[in-house]
Structure 1
Amino acid sequence: MLDLPTWQRSLTPTFGVPAPGQYRARPEDFIVDEQLDFTPEEHGEHLWLRLEKRNQTTLDVVKLLGRLCGVTPRDIGYSGMKDRVAVARQWLSVHLPGREAPEDLTATLGTAGVTVLAMARHPRKLKRGVHRTNHFTLRLSGDAVRPNDLLPRWEALCAQGVPNYFGHQRFGAGARNLQRAAAVLAKGWRKRDDRQGMMLSTARSFLFNELLSARLADGNWCQPVAGDTLMLDGTQSVFTIDDVEERLVARAAALDVHPTGVLWGVGGGAGGDAGRYEAQLAARHPALCAGLEQSGVKRGQRALRARLIAPQATFEQESVLLSFALPRGSFATAVIGELIHHPDTA
């Protein structure tokens, strides 16, 4: 049975294990605001709604909107999944060709704890992964937030970036999603057993975290190695290197490019030192790697590091308020886990 290990953290060698702390004591302590780089065109078959939700998952809101608008979940689009215990703001779209939304939609959503912040028409459905960043406002408390302890850690993260781990929530309570993924891949992945591809995603996320942890242990998680595929900061543009040049080392130090790790699947593997890490990963988890290849999912790349965008820290009497943005797909819990010790980010 697969369990989640304790993955390496970037700041532990310098500062030691962080002291215990708390986060998300209430939804208002974890605010996430999804940022698109475009706005709806004010016409079209799809009604786009910018919503604010509390104590609900994105899929909870999808089901509610479908019921209120008389459509199926596949008629509703969203870019990213947002946390349940949080105040989360994001766009969703509802396919309503030739008809308007119910007159009482805003009021009915409000009684269910969902606030409509904006509403506009657009020609197309909102697709997954089209937002550029998520902006977070987080309140941390506990022993770990003493300024003398937390401030050096925070400044180090701002300077070097954050290990781009997938958060523990990806693997489910007690790693149940990971165990289900292993079982599905062991018997042979089938679309009907995994309609949304969540089991594939869970397995790939676990393998990525394993590779990132190995490179953290070796001290080269944010530095290019031979054979690496590098990603330009703020984009999904990548290029592969055969050898490490001084100019690339300087660009990585300036957070202009980031080494990437494999999202396991079908496709050519890395060479050089980067290929060695992939070979070690395949040797440690042969069943997961083989199952993913047999599923036909295509190989991808994910940055090993995320840069904190516009980071700010405000120390209060017994807590600290952090404000920053991360690229889409990056987890705020990866930041929190470098600053405090908490079971959800261990």
Structure 2
Amino acid sequence: MTLSAFDFESLARVNPAALSHRCRIRQTPEDFKVEEKLPFEPAGSGPHVMLQITKTDTNTDWLAKELAQFAGVDEVAIGYAGLKDRHAVTTQWFSVNTEGVAEPDWSAFESDLIKINLITRHNKKLKRGALSGNSFKLNLEVLDGDRDSWESALSQIQKQGVPNYFGEQRFGYQMGNLHGVEQWFEQGRKPKSRNKKSLYLSAARSWLFNLVVSERVKAQNWNQFIPGDVMQLNGNHSCFQSENDDTELFERLKTFDIHPTGALAGQGELQSHDECKQLETAVLDAWQAWVQGLSRQGLKQERRALRLVPTEFNWQWHNSRLQLTFFLPSGCFATAVLREMAVVEDSSERIIQADRESV
């Protein structure tokens, strides 16, 4: 399979009316605010300084390197839970192992774009993925679509959630990570750097999952039980199989206590059965070079919820501008929410293109 047929916008939407809505986001970094939520409270003591930092228009990796240089420690001494958008105002935690060095005056690290909100200590390095989720506050400029239609789309998201697609940012600029996967798995051109290898593996599995989700959306059962489904408990990764679509299962689905899942490709047999397995097999068979490539790299079969339910979901109108607030669990994408309400024009993409052309 080549990427000539690849089109992120072709992934199915639940709400067709979203295609008649258009909006613009990220005209300024302040239009896209994210605040990271940890699943624990810092211990208050220990060898690792914990810094809660609000950064504006700043790359997470770059900031981690700057912290290491400022503190006089190796880059490996810096920890953070997740990458955050550059073209945004984001609040996240960093840990700095200061064992063997004098702790600096952290206030001297601040600038117009970097503010330190809290300083405490912890007994462990902050590891990737160690967060419960992110709170979002987004400002959208509505370009097309009447307000009643927008209200209907917003209410639908609030009531039933959205397909849990991996966002476009997972695939790199102009889907570059997927082109890298194609060259690796189909042409034998293995990436040289460890970082690119990791990015490509993640992108490949995410794309295949998105295709499975899209098929379930087309079949109108992305949020329903079908025979052979593997269900996931809300709020964690525990999965189980159910033989029957009984009353209890229906109620648990209705109240978002459980969600149907889709395959994250890797070694071993699909965990699904019957109708669900047939659907997933039909999707993945067209991408066997990718499935086999993931398997050879040691990735194991896993499951991911097909449905994403944003919590604390609210909105306010300010003339033609719409302000959204919501919370998403770790590993979920705000863009998955936005694409169910409109075709989104991201102003930051023009900035990225200009940066690349200036190099």
Structure 2 residue identity aligned to 1:10? V
What one-letter code is carried by the residue in structure 2 that aligns with 1:90?
Answer: Q
Match of 2:352 in 1: none
* Contact 1:23/1:141 (8 A) holds in 2: yes
**Structure 1 gap segments, 5+ residues each:** none
Equivalent residues in 2 for 1:1-346 (5 A)? 1-2=2-3, 3-5=6-8, 6-12=10-16, 15=17, 17-103=19-105, 105-111=106-112, 113-144=113-144, 146-186=146-186, 187=188, 193-194=194-195, 197-269=198-270, 270-343=272-345
Paired with 1:146 and 1:72, the residues of 2 have a C-alpha distance of: 54
1:298 positional shift: 1.4
Q: Helix, strand or coil for the counterpart of 1:99?
A: coil
Distance 2:97 2:300 in 1: 30
SS at match of 2:111: helix
Q: What whole-Å deviation, never above 9, does each CA across 1:10-50 have from its counterpart, x for those lacking one?
A: 111xx352322111111111111111132111111111110
Q: Say if 1:188 and 1:291, in contact at 8 Å, map to a contact too.
A: no
Q: Deviations over 1:76-130 (max 9, x none)?
A: 1111111111110011111111434322x3323325x211011111110111112
8 A contact 2:18–2:341 mirrored in 1 = no
Q: Which moved more, 1:231-240 or 1:49-58?
A: 231-240
SS in 2 for 1:255: coil
Distance 1:89 1:255 in 2: 28
Give the AA of the match of 1:265: G
Secondary structure of 1:291's aligned partner: helix
Contact 2:64 2:78 survives alignment (8 Å): yes
CA distance in 1, matches of 2:94, 2:279: 39
Q: How far has the Cα of 1:146 moved from its partner?
A: 4.2
Q: Which residue of 1 aligns with 2:357?
A: none
Counterparts in 2 of 1:327 and 1:31: CA distance versus 1, 3 Å: same
Instruction: Say which SS state the counterpart of residue 343 (structure 2) adopts.
Output: coil
Report how far residue 191 of structure 1 moved. Answer: 8.7
The one-letter code sitting in structure 1 at the alignment partner of 2:278 is R
Cα distance in 2, alignment partners of residues 93 and 75 from structure 1: 8
The amino acid of 2:344's aligned partner reads H
Deviation at 1:163, TM superposition (A): 1.0
CA distance in 1, matches of 2:192, 2:89: 33
Under a length normalisation based on structure 2, what TM-score does the superposition of the two structures give?
A: 0.89
> SS in structure 1 opposite 2:19?
coil
- AA of the residue aligned to 2:153: R
Q: For residues 120 and 16 of structure 1, do their structure 2 counterparts lie closer, same or farther at Cα, with a shift above 3 Å needed?
A: closer
Q: Is the 1:145–1:319 Cα contact (8 Å) retained in structure 2?
A: no
Tell me the percent identity. 33
Amino acid at match of 2:65: K
Report if aligned partners of 1:162, 1:307 keep a CA contact under 8 Å in 2.
Answer: yes
Letter of the aligned partner of 1:4 in structure 2?
A: D
CA distance in 1, matches of 2:273, 2:239: 15
Q: Any unmatched runs of 5+ in structure 2? A: 348-359
Query: d(CA) in 2 for partners of 1:41 and 1:243?
Result: 45
Kept after mapping to 1: 8 A contact 2:18/2:339: no
Contact 1:18–1:339 (Cα < 8 Å) also in 2? no
Distance in 2 of aligned mates of 1:137 and 1:17:
23
189-198 or 258-267: which moved more? Answer: 189-198
Q: Deviations over 1:174-207 (max 9, x none)?
A: 1111111222234286895447721111101100
- Using structure 1 for the length normalisation, give the TM-score: 0.93
Q: Tell me by how many angstroms 1:266 deviates.
A: 1.2
**2:24 and 2:346 in contact (8 A); partners too:** no
Q: Give, in angstroms, the shift of residue 142 of structure 1.
A: 2.2
Which residue of structure 1 aligns with residue 353 of structure 2? none
| Structure 1 stretches of at least 4 aligned residues deviating more than 4 Å after TM superposition | 188-196
**Residues in 2 aligned to 1:66 and 1:229: alpha-carbon distance in whole angstroms:** 43
Q: Distance in 2 between matches of 1:189 and 1:243?
A: 44
User: Are the equivalent residues in 2 in contact too, given 1:190–1:295 (CA < 8 A)?
Assistant: no
Q: What's the Cα RMSD here?
A: 2.0
Provide Cα deviations, 1:44-79, integer angstroms capped at 9, x if missing partner.
111111010111121121121122122233221111
1:150 and 1:245 map into 2 onto residues whose CA distance is 35
Question: Partner amino acid for 2:58?
Answer: Q
- Find the residue that maps to 1:28 and give its secondary structure: helix
